[in-house]
Amino acid sequence: MSYLVDVCNDAISLRLSLTSEQFTGPAGPVTVLKLPIPLSFACKARNLSELGGGELQTVYVFKRIELDSFEFDVFAENLCRDTDWLEGQCLALPVANARACVMVVATERPILFIDTQGYLYARYVARLG
C-alpha cells in the first residue's frame, strides 16, 4: 500500500499514490489506476449521506472528471438522476471484488468513485474525504 500521512495539531493530510495497471479487454489493452486502499460502495444511493457501509472493494480508475463546486453539488444532491457526462463511462475488469470507476473531483468536495455499470447514473458510488 502506498500512501503518506502527515499529522499536525489542526489537520491530517493523506497522500495516496495511484499505481498503473494494464488489463486486456474485448477492445484490447486498457490502462487503469489502482487506488491503494479499498473503499465501501453504496448501490443506488440518493445522495452523499447514503454512501458507505457496503463491502470494501478494490478501486480502479479509468477516467477522471472535473466539475466545479456548483456542478458537483447539483450532481451530489441526486446521484440517481441520469447525467449526460456518465454516458458510455463503463468498463468491465477481469478482477474479482473490484470496481472500474470514473473519479469525480471538485475543489473542496469529497472525491467520488462511480461505477455506472452501463447506466446513465451513479449506480455504485464510494467517496474519499
Share of the chain above pLDDT 70, in %: 98
pTM of the model: 0.91
pLDDT confidence of residue 35: 96
Q: Please give the Cα distance from 59 to 76 (Å, whole number).
A: 20
Tens of pLDDT, residue by residue over 16-71, are 999 999 998 777 899 999 999 999 999 999 999 999 888 899 999 999 999 999 99
**Range 84-87, long-range pairs (CB < 8 A, 24+ positions):** 84/120, 86/114, 86/116, 86/119, 86/120, 86/121, 86/122, 87/120
Residue spans per domain, the chain: 18-128
